[in-house]
Chains A and B, each alone.
Chain A
């Protein structure tokens, strides 16, 4: 799986958009970009994923650059409950017999403040 690079920590004011960057310059054509977050010591929570198009769901938006070497997770209106460690993961699209585990890095610790 391709390696990812994320800032160690970020701060965001409540109500503002949180933009979390991720570099994955060695990503392959068949690798998806996934975002998970972990609040305190809870189980990681799936947020969103994409291959090459921008994606949006009820939690967040994912913007992937045209060359796919980087992406940004956007939380449009951050709240205190969004304080968590956010993980950017690239994951190969598995075929028959191919395992596709999630390899977690160190992530970005997002602190949302009043």
Chain B
């Protein structure tokens, strides 16, 4: 158990809908990272937050947004869903703002299926 909790574990929804994925980081971790893993793309970095502020952005679509709350949990919002958004979404957390010597720990992911 990494200490990072993601809910829900599975989500099935229709095209055009909006969903929210939730992540609770490890106790004491201030950084949260979101990744997407689809079959043909590997693990793609989406976005990072540190202590409530956005710190880095990767290949995140405009239909997607995220935020980190004062209690440090984070939510990833996916809207106007398309079939191609079906993927595993992982959240990771680490202690610091991005020191290279601080490892990140991953949750078990949310499997999103868009039908």
Residues of A within 8 A of B (CB): 30-32, 34, 38, 41-46, 49, 51, 87, 91-106
Contact = CB atoms under 8 A, between A and B. Distances in A.
Nearest to A91: B100
Given A51-B101, A93-B101, A101 B58 contact: yes
Interface string B31-74: 00101010000111100101000011010000000000000000
Interface stretch (B14-22, B77-85, B104-112): B104-112
A46 B50 CA distance: 20
A44 B97 CA distance: 20
Given A43-B92, A96-B97, A103-B45, 20 more contacts: A30-B100, A32-B101, A42-B108, A43-B109, A44-B43, A45-B106, A49-B101, A51-B100, A51-B101, A92-B100, A93-B99, A98-B98, A99-B97, A100-B99, A100-B100, A101-B45, A102-B92, A102-B104, A105-B42, A106-B42
